[in-house]
Amino acid sequence: MNFKQLYDVSLPISNMLAVWPGDPLVEIQRTSEISQGATVNLSRLVMGSHTGTHLDAPNHFIEGAGGIDQVALTALVGTAQVVELKLNHHIGAADLLDLKLPTGTERILFKTSHSAHWQSNLATFQEDFIALAPDGAQWLVKQGIKLVGIDALSVERFDAPEEYPVHKILLGANIVIVEGLDLDKIEPGEYTVMALPLKIKDGDGAPARVLLAR
């Protein structure tokens, strides 16, 4: 692959990184330090499986479904459309129809105002992010989308009902969900996306390093 430019759209994981309310806080502790006479620098990491930029596995919301180690690799790497939506409401089917996506689009990444939030304050969780509406999720399923990414920590609105329809619609259709992207410096258009999560056996999700290339 000959790419002119690679873009890292992952959030840096640190003790200060905001997490979804109720999720484990990030704890990175240096357990061995060369400066203190040790042979190596070594750290202990404690964090939730949905920390920072991460992928959701089907079993995150669907009991008995596949884990993150079983997600099809062919969905994680390939051509993606980055679309910028300047909305004050959640993304519905009508908004997606207006995008006039190229025929055959299989992966879509949503850039909203939340990407700018990551630039100003990684430590603060923002509740009023733009998410995907249920009818928008259903539209994506009908279009044969394989991967959906968004810059907020969830593809579903903060005050979602307990049945979490958006997640269940997407994951039930084996659509990969990528959350917590930093798309602030990414112009809309076509890219190659590489979204590779940690290979956690039967994991309900995993942090990922996500790259865009063109």
Residues annotated catalytic, as ranges: 60
User: 54-56 and 6-8 as β-strands: parallel, antiparallel, unpaired?
Assistant: unpaired
> Is 106 in contact with 79 (CB distance < 8 Å)?
yes
SS3 142: helix
Tokens standing for residue 74: 């062919």
Query: Residue 136: which residues within 8 A CB-CB, separation 6 or more?
Result: 90, 91, 92, 93, 95, 96, 166
